[in-house]
Structures are given as structure tokens and as C-alpha cells.
Structure 1
Amino acid sequence: MSSDTPGAMRPALHWTQTPPAPTAVVLVLHGGKVASTAPAETSQLSAARLRPFARAVAKKMPDAAVVMLQYRMRGWNGADRSPVADARWALDEIRTRFGDTRVILLGHSMGGRTAAAVADDPSVDSIVALAPWWPDGTETDTLSTRQHLMVLHGRMDRWTSPRLSLQATVRAADRGVDARWVSMGPAGHFMLMRSWVWTRRTVAAVGAAFARIASAHDDDNARQENRR
């Protein structure tokens, strides 16, 4: 991917698990800043915070490929929407490697906003959004009725608005999207309070999406066998 910034910064994919023929791919999208053109690095807390989630998902779902996207820059950057181009690049890379395998997007904070922005990609089956940054409350308008959305948000979040993420979830559900919003109680933005509960519910949400994809995959295989 070509760079539009000095230093030729490029996005990168960091694979947690890569079975040879995955049933689905889980693309992990970490958070960031409202505005920053500083390089994103794997050592930064926004990325480090999601690595345990990626490992937990991989452990529970050995037939899923699990990969985290490292953005070029730390920030959303207004109209530039910097991580969106990176996520589209990642989806193209996944398609090149695994064909039409379905993708589950797991995004925290800015990663949740990025996930919603690329929901129009044909590979995307589901979004699991953790404390998503949806400042307009309309970010989910990109989802189609064939897709699935699960949102986890703590009511004590002072960085992103649980009210607006609920509004966006209800808005999606009203259009016929399979959309659910789950309160994480008096939790803040960084998923530190009762972190094991965040992990367990996240793995369950990704697991439910994975099970739907696996079931559809099995049905397709059965139909092909019946045609022979």
C-alpha cells in the first residue's frame, strides 16, 4: 500500500493463528487517537490491550485465523479517516490469502469505528465492537441486514459514549440488522475492571459469529455433496 506520509509508513498484519484452511478470519482492530499522524506501533497500549483478546479467541477457535492490523498512524484524523484505508488493505490481503472466507471484525474504541466504516466490504460477516467510538450515532448505517453486530460497552466510559453506541445499535436493529448491545456495568473504557468478564463475553460473541459461519459452511458443503 502506498504511503501518503513522510517515512513511507505502511500498515502491517500480525497473525496470532493461521490454520491452512480457516473457517473464518477474525480481524482485530485496536484503538487509537482522535488526531495523530505519529506511527502506530505494536508496543503502544491500544494495541497491547487487544493482544490477550486475540489469544483468547485463537485458543477457543482453532479453526479460525486470527490477525491484528497495525495501522500506519495512531489517529483517525478527521476526514482522512486514516485507519479505514488500512482496514480495507487488510481485507484485501485476507482475500488474497484465503479467498472468500468470511471475516469477523473485532474492534475496540477507534477500531470499532473503523470496523463500522468497512462493513460494506463483501467479506465482512459480523462486527464485535468493544466500547466503540461512534460519535455520530449513525456509524452502523453501513451494515446490511445479512450482517451481525454485537456491542459491549461500560456505562462509566468517559472516552466513548455508551449512549451513542446504544443509539447506533438500536438504529441498526430498526433496519433489520441482527444487532445487540450489552452493558458491561460500571466499567470504563480500557476494559481493566473485571477484564476477565470482557474477555469471556468477547470470546462468546466472536464464537457465536464463528458458529454461524461454520454452520453455513457445512450447509454449503452438504448441498454440493447432494448435487453429485
Structure 2
Amino acid sequence: MVLLLPDGEPESLRTPSPFSYARTLPLGRALARAGRGDGLVVHSVHYACRGWNGADARLAADASWAVEEVTRRYGDVPVCLAGHGLGGRAALQAADHPAVDSVLAMAPWLPDDDGAAELEPVKQLVGRRVLIVHGTNDARTDPELSYRLAERAKKINRNICRFEVHTDGNALRQHHPEVLALATDFVLGSFFPHPYARPVADALAAPPPLGLRMPLAAGFGKSLRH
């Protein structure tokens, strides 16, 4: 089961944006198509509101609720949390549920950790396979913050990697086919007995900073099974 977590806003009580949900559809379709033969199911999580809202961490709470609902409806099935922006932050934070097998965080929105009293948590990522994807020209979510989180997480979980999409922005549109191919390879390789593509396997095995600043090559996926 893959649960798609759309982007949101740092502070808001408004209803979720249909545009944010629409932006997750290409990923959902790509995953559903590639994993159909293996029994992969993809669902979107619909938030109660679009705001993270400080200590309430509403989007992470909604993600945790959705994982619990999956286990109630489907039983003991592994779950991948796949989110963009604040949905990426929710995916990372909600990984503490025992059903969560893997996390895909795309351009995750993270708070500035300079001088922060408490750093963004990473202990919940132990035992999970984690892929972070970030554009180097992202003006909305600082890619350096996702690198620093990945660096801290790598110290307690070797199964984490991070890819940089050079010259791409927050929406990851410039290299969209490659990003979808990377995400699909990671999810199928995490769930099923499919080997990861060589760049993903190398990134997981490499020590920092190499495995956390892996460049996403142009044309990634054209020669893969997807």
C-alpha cells in the first residue's frame, strides 16, 4: 500500500487545496501502473485541513490516522508513505507506525534548524527504507535542510538515501519523468523482490555525503524495467 500525502501550508485551517491533490496524481498513476502485477495499491490521504499548524502537526497526525485505517481495513500490509512538501514532512514524521515499511519524501518542507531548541525527529526512521528527492533550485523548501536531516538520520539508519535534481525547483517538473522513474524504482524495490536500480543501490550503500547528494541523472529510467 502506498499512501500519497499532498503538500499543505505551514499555518492554515482552510480545507485542503484540490491543486495539491492533483499534483500527486502522476506519481500515483505511475506507481499503480508499475506495481499492478505485484498487487500494489495506491491511495491518497485527504487531510482535515491544509495546515501543519505548529505543535499540532496536523498533516502528520492525518497520515498516522490513515496508516491505522489501512491496517484496520486490510490487515498486516506494509505501507509506504509518499509525500511532497509538507506532505513529505508528514511522511517522515509518521514513519513511527509499525506498518510503515518505507518513506518517499519529495522536496520535503522542513523548519529551519539553525538554533532550534528541538531538531526535526529522525528516530522514527530506524528500520525504514527512506528516499528523499530534492531540487537544487527549490525556492520554497530549502534543499540544504533535507540534506541535514538525512545526514542525521543516516547515523542511525543506513537504509536512507537522498537524490538531488540539479536546476529543478519545488515541483520537480523539469526532470519529471526521471523523478517518477526514481520513485517507482524505490517503491517497487522496497516492497517486492525487485533489485533497486544501480544508482539507488549505490546511494543506499554509500556513506555521507555521497549517498545523500546523489545526482539524478538525465534519462534515469529509460533503460530500466519501468
**TM-score bucket (shorter structure):** 0.7 to 0.9
Q: What is the TM-score of this pair, normalised by structure 2?
A: 0.78
Q: Which residue of 1 aligns with 2:211?
A: none
Specify whether residues 52 and 144 from structure 1 end up closer, same or farther in structure 2 by C-alpha distance, changes over 3 A only. Answer: closer
Specify the structure having the higher radius of gyration (Cα).
1
Question: 1:156-171 alignment to 2 at 5 Å?
Answer: 156-171=137-152
Q: Distance in 2 between matches of 1:206 and 1:197?
A: 14
Q: Which residue of 1 aligns with 2:200?
A: none
Q: Distance in 2 between matches of 1:74 and 1:176?
A: 30
- Which runs of 5 or more residues in structure 1 are unaligned? 1-24, 215-228
Q: What is the TM-score of this pair, normalised by structure 1?
A: 0.78
Task: State the Cα deviation string for residues 7-55 of structure 1 (Å, max 9, x = none).
Answer: xxxxxxxxxxxxxxxxxx11111101111101115xx221101111001
Q: Which residue of 2 aligns with 1:89?
A: 65
Q: Which residue of 2 aligns with 1:130?
A: 106
| Contact 1:40–1:71 (Cα < 8 Å) also in 2 | yes
Query: Relative to total residues, which structure has the larger strand share, 1 or 2?
Result: 1
Q: Which residue of 1 aligns with 2:29?
A: 55
- Which runs of 5 or more residues in structure 2 are unaligned? 114-118, 196-226
Shift of 1:212: 5.5
Higher relative contact order (CA 8 A, sep 6+): 1
Runs of 4+ in 1 over 6 A off after TM superposition: none
Q: Distance in 2 between matches of 1:30 and 1:145?
A: 24
Q: Distance in 1 between matches of 2:126 and 2:75?
A: 23
Specify whether residues 153 and 95 from structure 1 end up closer, same or farther in structure 2 by C-alpha distance, changes over 3 A only. Answer: same
**What is the RMSD of the two structures over their aligned residues, measured on CA atoms?**
1.8
Q: Distance in 1 between matches of 2:125 and 2:30?
A: 28
Shift of 1:155: 0.4
Q: Distance in 2 between matches of 1:212 and 1:132?
A: 28
One-letter amino acid of the structure 1 residue matched with residue 166 of structure 2 = G
Specify whether residues 37 and 209 from structure 1 end up closer, same or farther in structure 2 by C-alpha distance, changes over 3 A only. Answer: same
Equivalent of 1:121 in 88, 97, 104: 97
| Contact 1:113–1:133 (Cα < 8 Å) also in 2 | yes
Q: Distance in 2 between matches of 1:139 and 1:213?
A: 32
One-letter amino acid of the structure 1 residue matched with residue 162 of structure 2 = W
Q: Which residue of 2 aligns with 1:69?
A: 45
Specify whether residues 85 and 145 from structure 1 end up closer, same or farther in structure 2 by C-alpha distance, changes over 3 A only. Answer: closer
